[in-house]
C-alpha cells in the first residue's frame, strides 16, 4: 500500500525542501511516485513533461524546417478549400 511521505528535514532536493511536492513510497520506504501541487509548481510540471516528451521522441526521424513549412502551407491550402 502506498502512503504519502512528508519529511520535515531538508533532504529531498539537494538540501532544499520544495513546498507542494510530496513523494509516494511503498511499505519499504522506496519512492514510487510524486505528487505535485500544480498551483504552486505548475511550471515544474510543464518542464518535466516537456523533457519526458522530448526523450520519448528522440529516436523519431527529423524533418527539415523547409519540409515542415511546406506541409503547413499545403494543410492551409486544403483547409481554405
pLDDT digits (tens, 9 = 90+) for 21-42: 888 888 998 999 988 899 988 9
Compute, in degrees rounded to 10, the torsion defined by CA atoms 64, 65, 70, 74. Answer: 100
C-alpha distances out from residue 57 to 10, 49, 53, 54, Å: 35, 12, 6, 5
The pLDDT-based confidence of 78 (bands split at 50, 70, 90) is confident
pLDDT digits (tens, 9 = 90+) for 50-73: 999 999 999 999 999 999 999 999
Q: Are 12 and 21 in contact (CB under 8 A)?
A: yes
Q: Looking at residue 17, what is its pLDDT?
A: 65
Q: Residue 14: which region, alpha, beta or left (left: phi > 0; alpha: psi -120 to 50)?
A: left
The pTM (predicted TM-score) of the whole model is 0.49
Amino acid at each position: 500500500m502506498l502512503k504519502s511521505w512528508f519529511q520535515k528535514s531538508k533532504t529531498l532536493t539537494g538540501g532544499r525542501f520544495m513546498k507542494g511536492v510530496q513523494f509516494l513510497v511503498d511499505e519499504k520506504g522506496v519512492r514510487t511516485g510524486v505528487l505535485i501541487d500544480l498551483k504552486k509548481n505548475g511550471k515544474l510540471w510543464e518542464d518535466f513533461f516537456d523533457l519526458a516528451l522530448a526523450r520519448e521522441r528522440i529516436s523519431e526521424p527529423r524533418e527539415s524546417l523547409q519540409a515542415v513549412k511546406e506541409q503547413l502551407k499545403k494543410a492551409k491550402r486544403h483547409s481554405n478549400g
